[in-house]
Amino acid sequence: MSYISLYRKWRPQNFDEIIGQKHIIQTLKNAIKANRISHAYLFCGPRGTGKTSCARILAKALNCADGSTASPCGNCGNCKKIRDGHAVDVIEIDAASNRGIDEIRDLREKVRYTPIEGKYKVYIIDEVHMLTQEAFNALLKTLEEPPAYVIFILATTEPQKVPITIASRCQRLDFARIKFAEVKEQLKKIAENEGLDIEEKALDEVARLGEGSMRDSISLLDQLISFAGNKVAFNDIMTLLGSADEEMLFSLSSSILEKDDAKTLNLLREGIDAGRSASQIAKDLINHFRNILFAKVGAADSLELTIEHQKKVEELAAKFTLNEIKTVLRGLSQAEMDMKWHPHARLVLEVSLLELIDNQKMAEQQETRLRPALPAGRQPSLRVVEIDNRIAKIKKHWPEILESIKQKSPFAFISMHEGEPLEINDKGKLVIGYKKGYAFHKDRLEEKKNKEAVEQAIKEAVGESFLVEGVVGDERITPRMSVEAVKEIFEGELI
Ligand SMILES: [Zn+2]
């Protein structure tokens, strides 16, 4: 017997088997019972949430030999043919495959003929937003005056791309991502019926990774069975997907928090040695810090993590400041983007992690350095505190400022990236320090256009205006990995 994928095997065959989407099922059932079926439906929603399954069930419900019914029998000739995709009156068009020109032309021809086997002719057009303008125009003509026996079910993941002329003639139903608990329950049912021995933690992970798409979760389960056989452990997922496991992510995020360069690089190396790709680790870390961010602002409940995992995330979140989390996320996102085109993805990630740690150290050192030692009992003067805060604020927002400058002027960005904010001087100017031999960058920074871009970016980030000036060879400059050094490591050019 040929192999049937789990997804096909477990595809819902009647309305009650559809997972989630309660309001949609209710609407459709009521419409059938009341004989108030719309001539055109627009099913919107993310992939794998049941749009096509629901469309086929609706076709069955309309054409079942029992007469139009909210509970199609599943056994009559019409139901079986629709299930197997052989029904002549149910025409499925995949607009994504060739953008539907021929099919829609054909549709306009054949829509005039009455159904042969059932009461209705049902057109299911998948990914309808992909149709060409020409095909849309042809479809519109038919939608304007549909014969009484024709039902259109248009499905799309991107409703905003469906022309309003089409959408306005349809009854729109929005399919939501399926809830974690519902996906998990269905997976559990499948596992039991298929005689699988699957670890609870693995089941959680398969449900989570589907991100609300039943199809993705079931396909992953299928892959896992091919890979691991009938006994599936959590680690099988890790090996299969090459993802970083929870423990490693918690260790890595803690080492970043502790600003421990060596530990961070070692953990990364261990992860890569264990067979994970650098880009997967970056992705997992981003996801992990996103969880931390949610926990920090008190929204961890919406993440649908296991109770144990959520608790750990919340504990970690308490040790970071919100700004630190945001800075790490920005740095990691940038690294992920850079890694996409770079031949040495691993190195990009390593350098980015070190830079993240450096930036945090820098901000910390600056705060300590600028706080002058005071005789016991004396309060610092208001002016010192004020300047102290100011520079600290700029340091904290430094990655954000750089990012904003990059958008405004790439040249100003390169110069600023090489510099370091040192102090607010007597004249209230922000002093940017450059290493010896980097006068070129200082000069470029001081060109009017670049200076303006920089000052604007600072104002946007910290809400205050500062004039900037550059100095070269200041002894306070922290040695760090520069773009030049990175270029040398990569044997590449800066683009
Ligand atoms: Zn039937």
What is the full DSSP assignment across 41-106?
EEEE--TTSSHHHHHHHHHHHHH-TT-S-SS--S-SHHHHHHHHT--TTEEEEEHHHHTTHHHHHH
Q: 382-490, what's its fold?
A: GMP Synthetase; Chain A, domain 3 (3.30.300)
3-class SS at 470? strand
Burial string for 145-167 (b: 16+ CB within 10 Å, else e) reads: ebeebbbbbbbbbebeebeeebb
Looking at residue 237, its amino acid is I
Please tell me the distance between residue 238's alpha carbon and the centre of ligand 1 in angstroms. Answer: 43
416 against 233, higher pLDDT:
233
Burial string for 61-84 (b: 16+ CB within 10 Å, else e) reads: bbbbeeebebebeeebebbebbbe
Q: Where are the domains of the chain?
A: 6-174, 180-241, 246-357, 382-490
Please tell me the distance between residue 148's alpha carbon and the centre of ligand 1 in angstroms. Answer: 21
Please tell me the distance between residue 146's alpha carbon and the centre of ligand 1 in angstroms. Answer: 25
Q: Is 104 exposed, middle or buried (0-12, 13-18, 19+ CB in 10 A)?
A: buried
Please tell me the distance between residue 15's alpha carbon and the centre of ligand 1 in angstroms. Answer: 13
Please tell me the distance between residue 160's alpha carbon and the centre of ligand 1 in angstroms. Answer: 35
Q: 6-174, what's its fold?
A: Rossmann fold (3.40.50)
Q: Is 198 exposed, middle or buried (0-12, 13-18, 19+ CB in 10 A)?
A: buried
Please tell me the distance between residue 155's alpha carbon and the centre of ligand 1 in angstroms. Answer: 23
On whether the 180-241 domain is CATH 1.10.10.10, my answer is: no
Q: Could you identify the residue written with the tokens 């079942």?
A: 64
Is residue 454 within 8 A of residue 412, CB to CB? The reply is: yes
Please tell me the distance between residue 213's alpha carbon and the centre of ligand 1 in angstroms. Answer: 28
**Best-predicted range by mean pLDDT (86-90, 234-238, 376-380, 414-418):** 86-90
Please tell me the distance between residue 62's alpha carbon and the centre of ligand 1 in angstroms. Answer: 9
Please tell me the distance between residue 117's alpha carbon and the centre of ligand 1 in angstroms. Answer: 12
Is residue 154 within 8 A of residue 162, CB to CB? The reply is: yes
Over residues 119-140, the mean pLDDT reads 91
Q: Is 486 exposed, middle or buried (0-12, 13-18, 19+ CB in 10 A)?
A: middle
Please tell me the distance between residue 89's alpha carbon and the centre of ligand 1 in angstroms. Answer: 14
Structure tokens at 233: 């452990």
Please tell me the distance between residue 70's alpha carbon and the centre of ligand 1 in angstroms. Answer: 11
Please tell me the distance between residue 76's alpha carbon and the centre of ligand 1 in angstroms. Answer: 4
Please tell me the distance between residue 8's alpha carbon and the centre of ligand 1 in angstroms. Answer: 19
Q: Is 16 exposed, middle or buried (0-12, 13-18, 19+ CB in 10 A)?
A: exposed
3-class SS at 376? coil
* Per-residue confidence (pLDDT) for residue 146, from 0 to 100: 87
Please tell me the distance between residue 50's alpha carbon and the centre of ligand 1 in angstroms. Answer: 20
Structure tokens at 199: 């670890």
Please tell me the distance between residue 13's alpha carbon and the centre of ligand 1 in angstroms. Answer: 11
**Best-predicted range by mean pLDDT (49-58, 214-223, 339-348, 477-486):** 49-58
Give the DSSP H or E segment for 231: strand 231-232
Q: Which DSSP string do the residues of 172-230 spell out, in sequence order?
A: EEEPPPPPHHHHHHHHHHHHHHTT-EE-HHHHHHHHHHTTT-HHHHHHHHHHHHHHHTT
Instruction: Count how many residues are written for the chain.
Output: 495
**Best-predicted range by mean pLDDT (96-100, 146-150, 169-173, 435-439):** 169-173
What is d(CA 243, CA 285) in angstroms, rounded to the nearest whole number? 10
Structure tokens at 460: 């946007």
Distance of CA 83 to the CA centre of its chain: 34
How do residues 96-124 score in pLDDT, each as one tens digit?
876 667 778 888 888 889 999 889 999 99
Looking at residue 136, its amino acid is F
Q: Could you identify the residue written with the tokens 């009341």?
A: 34
Is residue 236 within 8 A of residue 199, CB to CB? The reply is: no
Please tell me the distance between residue 196's alpha carbon and the centre of ligand 1 in angstroms. Answer: 32
What is d(CA 449, CA 452) in angstroms, rounded to the nearest whole number? 5
What is d(CA 430, CA 427) in angstroms, rounded to the nearest whole number? 9
Q: 50: closest CA among 210, 188, 220, 241?
A: 210
Which CATH number is 246-357 given?
Answer: 1.20.272.10
Burial string for 431-459 (b: 16+ CB within 10 Å, else e) reads: bbbbbeebeebbebbeeeebbebbbbbbe
Please tell me the distance between residue 151's alpha carbon and the centre of ligand 1 in angstroms. Answer: 18
How do residues 463-494 score in pLDDT, each as one tens digit?
888 888 888 877 777 654 445 544 544 445 55
Please tell me the distance between residue 80's alpha carbon and the centre of ligand 1 in angstroms. Answer: 7
* Per-residue confidence (pLDDT) for residue 302, from 0 to 100: 82
Please tell me the distance between residue 77's alpha carbon and the centre of ligand 1 in angstroms. Answer: 7
Please tell me the distance between residue 51's alpha carbon and the centre of ligand 1 in angstroms. Answer: 20
Q: Is the whole-model pTM more than 0.75?
A: no
User: Who's near 119: CB < 8 A, 6+ residues apart?
Assistant: 62, 63, 67, 68, 149
3-class SS at 374? coil
How do residues 145-157 score in pLDDT, each as one tens digit?
889 999 999 999 9
Please tell me the distance between residue 82's alpha carbon and the centre of ligand 1 in angstroms. Answer: 9
Lowest mean pLDDT among 302-306, 407-411, 479-483: 479-483
- Whole-angstrom CA distances from 54 to 25, 104, 428, 489 are 8, 22, 66, 55
Please tell me the distance between residue 476's alpha carbon and the centre of ligand 1 in angstroms. Answer: 81
Looking at residue 117, its amino acid is E
User: How many percent of the chain have pLDDT more than 90?
Assistant: 39
What is d(CA 424, CA 440) in angstroms, rounded to the nearest whole number? 22
Is residue 171 within 8 A of residue 42, CB to CB? The reply is: yes
User: How many percent of the chain have pLDDT more than 70?
Assistant: 89
Please tell me the distance between residue 64's alpha carbon and the centre of ligand 1 in angstroms. Answer: 4
What is d(CA 236, CA 259) in angstroms, rounded to the nearest whole number? 32
What is d(CA 244, CA 275) in angstroms, rounded to the nearest whole number? 9
Indicate if the pLDDT at residue 292 is higher than 60: yes
